[in-house]
Structure 1
Amino acid sequence: MSLAVRNQIDVSVSLAGDAIAAVEILPRVRPPLGRLFAGKPAVSLLDVLPRIFSLCAAAHQVAFLSAIEAARDENISLTTRQHRIVMVVAERLAELLRGLFVGHFALDTTSAAAIRALMEGVSALLSSAEPSCGQVRREAIARVGIALTALGVTNEDGAPALGNPLALSVAALEEDALNPTPMQHSFLSVADDRGVIERLVDDAGFCRCPDLEGRIPETGAWARQMMRDQLTLGRSGPAERLKARIAEIVRLHAWLRHDAHVETAEDGIIESYRLGPGRGAAAIECARGRLYHAVELDRQGQLLRFEFLAPTEWNFHARGPLVRSLQGVVLVAKPQARGAVRAMVGSFDPCVGFTLNFREIGDA
């Protein structure tokens, strides 16, 4: 059995003078899990998921389990739900922090000790999600908090302490190298679950190129912040998305620190849907946005069908949020503009690597 896939997104930006005339996206090729595991026991896929999805592995496992349970019309205990929410939140925190390590602290040798402590704390947190590891988890959360403070990540509004590498990154991203055109924003939420799931189970091509009656919403940390805080739409560049990431890191850490009660968890973080005998689906709010799984089982509990839809398919859709954010943008400071475009692409945080290519097409 081979799971070899094209695990990369290619973004091509066409420039006409000082403006972006077109943005083309060649998506990744998704692993054909439904075909590969059709006819096999559902549990056979559970242990494979972390090897296929190295990022957000816990979210995929919880989504798959929740969809299976919905298909079987099974109820889970409050303790199990609590455990799964902690798993998803801890992993989301780790994934959001990973983006800070890679994108904004990679060359900062002065913060090496704090980064090492933070990574060790996050690793301990991820391995302590079991209910029996409460004390270990509390100690790991405390270590993460100390390291975040050392790195200047304490402010709930996403503004890092002045003078630290993150503050310098935010300031650099706020420079007006790009002049975007006004655009309408749309965000993926729990209210969209039924519509997404119906299309996911009825249309085999939907998972590769999703839309909701022509609407292709954004999902992820910035989208969550906009919906949660009901903020007025203003700037929506990489600086705003970085600040939303920082604010969410602080908020998730605070929730874990205060005993992580189910009652205070965010709405819609784990939702499951029974679609009929042997058919179920689930939606999980993970680091990059809303993740969907849908399954169909035969009477022996073997997989007849398995579909999944990751957040990246929305954000990196050919007519999606990234394309809309770049289309028509004027390059104000041209020497820095290509770096600003790369920062915009990176701020949408795809779950796979990406390439970015520019080509000049002349004035059109």
Structure 2
Amino acid sequence: MSDPAGRLNIQLRRTPHGFACDIASTRPVAASGLFRGRAPTETASLLPLLYSICAKAQASACVGALDHACGMDPDPEARRLRQSLVAAETVREHLWRILLDWPLLLDEEPDRHAMIGTQSLVKRIFGALDSDGVLLSPGCEKPTSSRSALAEAASALADLTAERVLGLAPDAWLERVTTLGAFDDWCRSVETPAARLLADLHDSGDGRLGHTEASPLPDLDDGTLAAELRGPEAAAFVARPHWRGVPRETTPLTRYADSALVSALVADQGRGILARLVAQILETVSLLRAIRTDELDAGSTAPSDTLLPAGVGLGRADAARGLLVHLAEVDRGRVAEYRILAPTEWNFHPDGVLSSALATLPDAEETLLRRRVQLLVMAIDPCVAFDLVIP
């Protein structure tokens, strides 16, 4: 039985000049066509059922696009709460990797107990942010949230992260771990699997593996994105997106490239495995603080000043794997066209960042090579499973 979310097939080939990489995808990038002819409210209800991975990010981008297309403008509080939902989901997605997948790379058991606790606390955060269950509906005007319940659940999640990942409070980690020296001290003074994995990558030199030159996705305005998503090559664009002929990257590394810690790691280690994994931890900790202190900026998800045609709307969400964009066209109360541009299509483009990173790997015996490939794939992080073939 095929996986409804699709899979990636990654093949590494040895050539006289090193590795070449072939990436094929069975992700259902055209599935959003199922929304044509549906009412906006029906579309908003159905979409997170079809796109269950990062469902809050999908739903948030969806209602943003539909609001804009229908001429509705939710108040800034609704946009802020939606962004908080996406932030909490992103924390959960990163902790899933950190608690369950990272220990396997040390030949240790996943921390399932901590992950169960994480899922429960994030669910409580969702409920506190959207008490009435209307926040992700088009035209939401008066969302109800519980600040006390949010603070309690977010603080408990921060405590869990401190105990199982950081070895100290998240706010203290953000304040102290800003330089290479502080990062090295932290890795060697904490006994969590996350800290030990990062120390191992640093000591072995594997943290440098997969370095590629930066090709980050620029900050494109709504009009530019809408033109690509409505143009004659739109179907090909959402399947294999590029900007000015170059596949781009949209990941936690590109979001946090200007932070003191990540920029120092990139300068020392390159844009390899270590910098990417640290960016995931930094985003996790930063979002935890932002959720607790209401520091999220609702303006980042508001429509840009670019005028779009009547009936056309664009929604964005900073999902765990990168920028997620939805475009909706509504005509006479029905969806006439719908397209989704997901970060996996950018980052796992056949000529994109993963392909470039894998091509830089040194040859090695198969067990070691597979471990390094798995590390790189996990560091760039697809939202679906993958198969690896090394002939």
Same fold (TM over 0.5): yes
Number of matched pairs:
352
- CA deviations on 1:233-267 (whole Å, 9 max, x unpaired) are 44222222111111111111111121x145xx387
Counterpart check, 1:240 vs 2:267: no
Which deviates further from its counterpart, 153-162 or 63-72?
A: 153-162
Match of 1:141 in 2: 154
Match of 1:90 in 2: 88
Shift of 1:101: 2.3
Q: 1:219 to 1:104 in 2, by over 3 A?
A: same
Q: Distance in 2 between matches of 1:354 and 1:114?
A: 25
Q: 1:295 to 1:317 in 2, by over 3 A?
A: same
SS in 2 for 1:293: strand
- CA deviations on 1:266-317 (whole Å, 9 max, x unpaired) are 8735546652111111221111100011111112x10110001000000000
Shift of 1:54: 1.4
Q: 1:25 to 1:275 in 2, by over 3 A?
A: same
Match of 2:341 in 1: 309
> Can you give the 5+ residue segments of structure 2 that lack an aligned partner in the other structure?
131-143, 178-182
RMSD: 2.8
Give percent identity, aligned residues only.
24
Shift of 1:199: 1.0
Match of 2:247 in 1: 216
SS in 1 for 2:21: strand
Q: 1:286 to 1:271 in 2, by over 3 A?
A: farther
Q: Distance in 2 between matches of 1:316 and 1:352?
A: 11
Verify the 8 A CA contact 1:38 1:304 in the aligned structure 2.
Answer: yes
Q: TM-score scaled to structure 1, two decimals? A: 0.86
Verify the 8 A CA contact 2:210 2:272 in the aligned structure 1.
Answer: no
Match of 2:13 in 1: 14
Match of 2:319 in 1: 286
Q: Distance in 2 between matches of 1:25 and 1:143?
A: 40
Shift of 1:86: 1.4
Verify the 8 A CA contact 1:195 1:212 in the aligned structure 2.
Answer: no
Counterpart check, 1:297 vs 2:296: no
- CA deviations on 1:50-107 (whole Å, 9 max, x unpaired) are 2211121111111111111111222211221222121111111111112212212467
Match of 1:362 in 2: none
2:370 corresponds, among 327, 338, 358, to 338
Shift of 1:206: 0.7
Whichever structure has more strand as a proportion of its residues is 1
Whichever structure has more helix as a proportion of its residues is 2
SS in 1 for 2:275: helix
Verify the 8 A CA contact 1:20 1:326 in the aligned structure 2.
Answer: no
- CA deviations on 1:125-165 (whole Å, 9 max, x unpaired) are 23322233222111101111111111242322475552221
SS in 2 for 1:166: helix
2:311 counterpart letter in structure 1 = G
Verify the 8 A CA contact 2:19 2:358 in the aligned structure 1.
Answer: no
Q: TM-score scaled to structure 2, two decimals? A: 0.81
Q: 1:239 to 1:108 in 2, by over 3 A?
A: same
Which deviates further from its counterpart, 103-112 or 140-149?
A: 103-112
Verify the 8 A CA contact 2:301 2:315 in the aligned structure 1.
Answer: no
- CA deviations on 1:4-62 (whole Å, 9 max, x unpaired) are 84610110011247x74210000123153343221221222211222211121111111
Match of 2:54 in 1: 56
Q: Distance in 2 between matches of 1:110 and 1:351?
A: 19
Verify the 8 A CA contact 2:329 2:338 in the aligned structure 1.
Answer: yes
Match of 2:351 in 1: 319
1:290 counterpart letter in structure 2 = L
Shift of 1:331: 3.0
Q: Distance in 1 between matches of 2:8 and 2:371?
A: 18
